[in-house]
Structure formats: structure tokens, C-alpha cells
Amino acid sequence: MSLGKFIAKRAFQAFVTLIGALLVVFLIMRILPGDPARLIAGPEASWEDVENIRKMLGLDKPLYIQFIEYVKSVFKGDFGKSIKYGTPVIDEILARLPYTILLAVAAEAIAVALALPLGVYSALKPNSTLSRFISAISLFGASLPIFWLALIFIYIFSAKLKWLPSFGAGSWKHLILPSFTLALLLMGNLTRITRSSVMEAASMNHVTTAVAKGLDNGKVLRRHVLRVSMIPIITIMGLQIGSLLGGAVITETVFAWPGIGSLLIDSIFYRDYPLAQGIILFIVLAFVIVNLAVDFVYGLIDPRVRSRTWS
């Protein structure tokens, strides 16, 4: 498959994924109880006022007409106006996006900086006491409910020690608790994947042969073990980054971090159809772009993948 065909195939898959996601979210938002027209009009509004608002929002039309019109407007770059804020959806998303990117980059950087060396050490020294401790902590970290961990951090570092703020995004100190909360959750899975991948790569025939021939262990590790083991590691990192760019909903809500995740929760509670649909579309698009980037990185790392997909 040529590079052009590869890109065309991925673009078509992305298009189908986006349409499917839009349809699912569109239907779910309209199945949920609550009437956005009534919320806008207020509890004291008359039935006529509510109906006028419904017509203004286009909610009086059949569902399939609403969906078709929405898809058309999306491909024209018009995501509609937020029912709650009265501003363009794209403006609301772009206003929150820098906070989400900042939190995602900080959390993933912390997780990678800690998980990769711990995972490699645990794989190379599988029977050591420290390796067993790392494995136990990784499993424990991956199993922790993130809201519980966030509340524990707030209790210790904010309520008791008063070292760090517990909510908001006014300074760099506000980033510490939510980023470390997410990083510890990400570290659990990343450390375990790194450990298993390095152990599998180290047991391959060409690696054992290189060691038997007396090649330097450091060179064998860098050139043969880490290069092969990076593919599953990059996969899990791509999934993590995609999910973080979509907004860490629970973490952003607990710490009142003004990112995409907290905005999504607000839009759902308010039945803000255009805003919720716009955010979901952004989340799906983030996953698609990250997965496409991961595919390209695969090809750069492993020539076998490059030969199968790019040529």
C-alpha cells in the first residue's frame, strides 16, 4: 500500500468514525430527560414562549432533519451556538482547549518520565525486591479510582498541609495536584506495559544471540530491546494522550479545572446540544489524529511496519 492510499484509507475511516460518533451523541442527547427550551425560558415562561424558543433552536423539526442540518453545518465549519452561553461553540471549545492541553502534556510527561525507567528496570531485574515492589505499586495505581485519589491529594496537600491550591487554574501551583493525580493513574498501566514489552523483547532469539556473542549490554538494550519494545508502549501512550486531550472529566471536575472535560459535563447537565455535540466531535477528532500519528511513528521505529503500510 502506497503512502497516498494509506492516508486516503485512514481519512475515510476517520470520516466514518466522526459521522458515527455524531449520530450516537445526537441521539443520546435527545433521549436524556429535560428540555433546553424550558431551561432557557425559565420555569415561569408560558407554553407559547417555550415553543417559540424551540422553533428558534430548530428543536421542533424531526430528528433526522435536525441531524442532517447539523452534519451539513459541521462540514461548513459552523458548530452552532451554545444554548447556555449564547456564543459560538468553537469559541467555547477554543477558550478551554489550552487548559486541557496543558494538563494533558504535564500529566503524560510526568507519567513517561517515571514509568519508563521503572518499567525497564523491573523487566531487567524481574526477581529483585524492588522489581516486585514496582509491579505491586503499578497494579495498585492502575486500579485506584481517580476521584478517590484526587480527594486524598486535596485532603493532604491542600486541607491539611496547605501547600497547594485545591481548585482553579490561576497559577502553576494549581496544575500540580491535577497533573500528578492523572500521572499516577497513567503510570500504572504504562509501567506494566513497559515491563512486559521489554521482557518479551529481551527474550527474542536475536537478542540472546547478541548477548552470547559478547556485545555490550547497553548497546543491546538500546539497539535491539528498546527499539522493538517501544511499539506497544507508543500504543498505550497514544491512547492516553487521546483520552487526555478529550478532557479528563473526573479530574477536571474535582479540581474545578476549566478544561474540555468540565465543559462537557456542564453542557450535558444544561442539555446544551450544540456544545455537547461539538465537544464530542473534538474528542473523536483528537483520538483519530493521535492514532494516525501513532501509525506514522510505528513506521519510523519498525521498518517491518513501514514496509507493510507505506509501500
pLDDT in tens, 157-199: 888 888 888 887 778 888 889 999 888 888 888 888 888 887 7
**pTM, 2 dp:** 0.77
- Helices and strands (DSSP H and E) totals, the chain: 15, 0
pLDDT for 302: 61
Decide if pLDDT at 311 tops 70.
Answer: no
Q: CA angle, 146 as apex, 141 and 148 as ends, to 5°?
A: 100
Instruction: Give residue limits of the domains in the chain.
Output: 96-264
User: What is the architecture of the domain spanning 96-264?
Assistant: Orthogonal Bundle (1.10)
Decide if pLDDT at 261 tops 80.
Answer: yes
pLDDT for 110: 92
Q: Give 7: exposed, middle or buried? Use CB within 10 Å, 0-12, 13-18, 19+.
A: middle
- Give strand pairing partners of 88: 81
Q: Residue 65's CB: how many other CB atoms inside 10 A?
A: 11
pLDDT for 83: 79
Instruction: Please give the DSSP secondary-structure letter assigned to residue 79.
Output: -
Query: Residue 35 belongs to what H/E stretch?
Result: none
Question: Looking at per-residue confidence, does 138 or 102 come out higher?
Answer: 102
C-alpha cell at 273: 446540544
Q: CA separation (Å) from 76 to 69, 70, 72, 80?
A: 11, 10, 6, 11
